[in-house]
Amino acid sequence: MRYYENSFKISINVNSMKEKSFPIHFIMTGGTIDSYYDGIKDTVVPNEISIIPKFIGGLKLPNKTSFSEICMKDSRSLTSEDIKNILKEIENSSSNHIIVTHGTYTLPDTARFLKANLKRKDQTIILTASMLPMSEFTMSDGGFNLGFAMGKLENLPAGVYVCMNGKVFSSDEVIKVISEGRFASILGEK
């Protein structure tokens, strides 16, 4: 058996490396991502106050972040007024990079509403959610979905997207496949 040792030099000019940092505005609406499990009700219940700012703050991101809590509801309880408030918050945001945390049930509907009604065309907006609450379940997909959405913000063109299950969907194609507990494209696998 032969062993080969690769010797090479890596030259990095630290001064020439520019950290790409842009402000991210998080808009919270509740949903499972921002809920806790209630054993008496045998379901998840939205937190009274969002845990997203605390979670994001613990990541020590280089990005400036801002947070707006629209409501703390199961997405099936969102009213047309709540959805209009999400739209208004996005339109009035000073950031061109927006992440909206949302419940999974009506997430595709809200994404389509935003795309159809947004007047601004200079923002990248990503809606994300989770199937398990972030606050009590170590195996929650919430942290992964938030991280994936943050990672995609930098490279997606302006528009409305959904980031779930390690995939990016346009607002026009995304659906929730309840029987499989995941999101998919109506256009099939890419």
4 in a domain, yes or no?
Answer: no
Residue 7 lies in a domain: no
Cα–Cα dist 11/4, whole Å:
22
Which CA distances in Å does 39 have to 44, 45, 53, 73?
8, 10, 26, 18
109 occurs within a structural domain: yes
Residue 136 pLDDT > 90, yes or no? no
Tens of pLDDT, residues 143-161: 999 999 999 999 999 999 9
Domain count, the chain: 1
CATH number at residue 71: 3.40.50.1170
Q: Who wins on pLDDT, 3 or 148?
A: 148
Q: Tokens 């200079």 belong to which residue?
A: 122
Q: What angle do CA 90, 70, 163 make, to 5 degrees?
A: 60
Residue 3 lies in a domain: no
In a domain, 15, yes or no: no
- Is 69 part of a structural domain of the chain? yes
Residue 170 placed within a domain: yes
So what's the pLDDT on residue 15?
47
Domain contains 139: yes
Per-residue model confidence as pLDDT tens digits over 70-87: 999 999 999 999 999 999
Which range marks the domain in which residue 71 is found? 20-185
* pLDDT (tens digit per residue) in 111-126: 999 999 999 999 999 9
Apex CA 95: angle with CA 67 and CA 161, to 5°? 85
Stated as kind and residue range, the H or E segment containing 91 is helix 80-92
